[in-house]
Structure 1
Amino acid sequence: MHKFENVDVFVSLDAIMRQNTAFYQSDFEIDKQIIQKAAASPAAEDKTLLWLSRPSGTHCFRERDVFLKDTGPHNTWRFYAEQTRDHILAYAVTITGSEDGKMKGSLYELDYPQHFKHVIDHALPADTYTLIYENGEREQPAKQPFDATPDPQLGKFERFEAKPNDPEALRYLLQEEKHRRDKLTQGNFKEHIAALQGSRIESEARRILSGLQTLKEPNSPNTTHFMIEVSPYFTQLASSKDTDRLLAMLPYKTLTLGNLKDRRGIYAMVAKDENRDKGLRKPHQSIRAQLAKDKEKAATKKAAAKSKNHDLEV
């Protein structure tokens, strides 16, 4: 897990989303509004958020709400681990402010399968809701129903939030979460996106390979090929270069991608006579990419040597 400090939050989260969220990317517009509201809030606890990307949408919540039992954010954060097999990318987001028209802050990688268990183990009870109106607020039991009608004395209803039974325990918990994040190693965000892209392509290649090898009989309409549908999530996100990399990883000479009459989707097809008992191939790195990598290493060594010589000067 890495941290990425002083980044453009909107641009960075958008880049992550486009490696994992194939459908309902418009959810991110709601996330932006939540982040902008957090940036404008004077409360420090409002400026740390938990964000997740799933194949069909995104979510963004205040961290403090995720750690309060039985709240919507808490239940939603748990749902995708407990009730689905969705691939989730999750991050903590801290907002530092606006700079040159950009929303600045830091992102912290979260191991979602581990983090949701951590939330279950450490979440605190919140048996009271604070109902906030334009001219004041009132409290009521969390289980008591309410609506958004105006209050005769307090005016227009604005929002509600869960109130922890032990506010000091929540403050301590959030401080501990910050300490955990601060210990993460600083990462290179471009490399992070490249790794997410590579992982997405390799995961799809492994899924297709496994599917083709599991089939016992040719299943194409004319029974001449074994075929597996390429994931709609992959095809929605993939560029032509992504597709080329996918094909390069699959080890079959007769492999083709194509459509079928009267069927939606794109299918990977292999001739029935080809040996399907092969392992995934790792595509060779391009000469251009290798040269760029070698050039970067040489520049780093040169800078280090120059710094060392400078230190020895009297």
Structure 2
Amino acid sequence: MNKFENVDIFASLGAIMRQNTAFYQSDFQIDKEIFQKVAASPAAEDKTLLWLSRPSGTHCFRESDVFLKDTAAHNTWRFYAEQTHDHILAYAVTITDSEDEKMKGSLYELDYPQHFKHVIDHALPADTYTLFYEKGEREQLAKQCFDAAPEPQLGKFERFEVKPNDPEALRYILQEEKHRLDKLPLGNFKEHIAALQDSRIESEARRILSGLQTLKEPNNPNTTHFMVEVSLYFTQLASSKDTDRLLAILPFKTLTLGNLKDRRCIYAMVAKDENRNKDIRKPRQSIRAQLTKNKEKAAPKKAANSKNHDLEV
């Protein structure tokens, strides 16, 4: 896990999303609105959010809400780990500067399967809602139902927040979270995106390979090939170069990608006579990448600049 400092938050999260979220990318527009709202808040605890990318959408919550039991934020953060097998990319995000359409800050990688367990172990009970209206606010017990109807004295309903039973305990948890995240090593964001791309392609290759090896008999209509459907999530996100790399690391001479009549899916097909008991190939480094790496090794070291542009997107 790494941290990435002084990045363009929207550009960086957008780049992460495009490596994992194939459908409902419009969710990210809602996330941007949440970021803009909390950026305008004077409360320090509002400046850290938890964000996740899943194959069909994204979510963004205030960190403080995730650590309060029975809130929508807490339940949703747990849901994708407890109830689905979705591949989740999760990050903590701190806002340091906001101007016009741009927002600067830091991203912190989260190990989502571990983090959601951490949330379960440390989340606090909360039994009070604060309801905000255009002319004031009121409190009520969380167990009591409420709607978004206007109040005669307070006017139009705007939003609500959950209050912890022990505010000091929540502040302590958030401080500990900050200290833990600050200790993460500094990473290179461009390299991080490249690693996510590599992982996405390799995961799809392994899924296809496993599917082909599991088949007992050829399953195409002419019974001449073994075939496995290429994931819709992969095809939605993949560039032509991604597809070329997928084909390059699958270890079959007769491998082709194609459609079947009356089916919109793309299939990976291997001739029935080919040996399928193989492992994926390790991708060879491109000549350009090798030359760049050798050039960097040979170049004399320069004095460090005050601003690290490699962390910007």
TM-score range, shorter chain: over 0.9
Q: SS at 1:201's partner residue?
A: helix
- 1:248 equivalent to 2:248? Answer yes
Aligned pairs (5 A) from 1:1-314: 1-99=1-99, 101-299=101-299, 302-303=300-301
Using the TM superposition, give the Cα deviation of residue 295 of structure 1 relative to its aligned residue in structure 2, in angstroms: 1.1
Letter paired with 2:229: E
Equivalent AA in structure 1 for residue 254 of structure 2: T
Deviation at 1:298, TM superposition (A): 2.3
2:203 maps to a residue whose letter is S
* % identity of equivalent residues: 86
Instruction: State TM-score, norm by structure 1.
Output: 0.95
Q: Secondary structure at the match of 2:285?
A: coil
Work out the CA distance in 1 between the residues paired with 2:145 and 2:119: 26
Secondary structure (helix, strand or coil) at the match of 1:23 reads coil
Aligned mates of 2:143, 2:246 — CA distance in 1:
51
TM-superposed CA distance for 1:303, in Å, is 1.1
**SS of the residue 1:303 aligns to:** coil
Q: Distance in 2 between matches of 1:214 and 1:201?
A: 20
The count of residues paired between Structure 1 and Structure 2 equals: 304
Q: CA deviation at 1:101?
A: 4.9
Matched position secondary structure for 2:70: coil
> Distance in 1 between the 2:119 and 2:239 partners?
36
Instruction: Please state how far the C-alpha of 1:143 moved relative to its aligned partner.
Output: 1.3
- Residue 99 of structure 1 deviates from its aligned partner by 4.8
SS across alignment from 2:106: strand
One-letter amino acid of the structure 2 residue matched with residue 213 of structure 1 = Q
How far is the alpha carbon of 1:152 from its aligned partner?
Answer: 1.0
Q: 2:266 is paired with a residue of what secondary structure? A: strand
- Comparing 280-289 and 111-120, the one that deviates more: 280-289
Amino acid at match of 1:232: L
Partner Cα separation in structure 2 for residue 137 and residue 279 of structure 1:
62
Q: Deviations over 1:117-168 (max 9, x none)?
A: 0000000001111111111111111111000111111111110010000000
CA drift of 1:294 comes to 1.3
Which moved further from structure 2: 126-135 or 81-90? 126-135
CA separation of 1:147 and 1:101: change in aligned 2, threshold 3 A? closer
After the TM superposition, which parts of structure 1 deviate over 6 Å for at least 4 consecutive aligned residues?
none
Can you give the 5+ residue segments of structure 1 that lack an aligned partner in the other structure?
Answer: 308-314
Distance 1:230 1:101 in 2: 38
1:233 match: secondary structure: helix
Equivalent position of 1:311 in the other structure:
none
In the alignment, the residues of structure 2 paired with residue 245 and residue 71 of structure 1 have an alpha-carbon distance, to the nearest angstrom, of: 43
Letter in structure 2 aligned against 1:82:
E
Counterpart CA distance in 2 for 1:249 and 1:69 is: 45
Hey, what's the Cα distance between the residues in 2 that align with 1:36 and 1:270? 50
* SS of corresponding position for 1:279: coil
Question: Distance in 1 between the 2:131 and 2:273 partners?
Answer: 68
- What is the distance in 1 between the residues matched to 2:242 and 2:66? 35
Q: How large is the Cα RMSD of the aligned pairs?
A: 1.2
Superposed CA deviations along residues 51-79 of structure 1, whole A, max 9, x for unmatched, are: 00000000000000000000000000000
Aligned-residue offset at 1:283: 1.7
Q: Distance in 1 between matches of 2:288 and 2:7?
A: 28
Secondary structure, counterpart of 2:152 in structure 1: coil
Q: Which residue of 2 aligns with 1:310?
A: none
Task: Give the AA of the match of 1:98.
Answer: S
Farther-moved stretch of structure 1 (106-115 vs 288-297): 288-297
Query: In structure 2, what is the Cα distance between the partners aligned to 1:156 and 1:298?
Result: 66
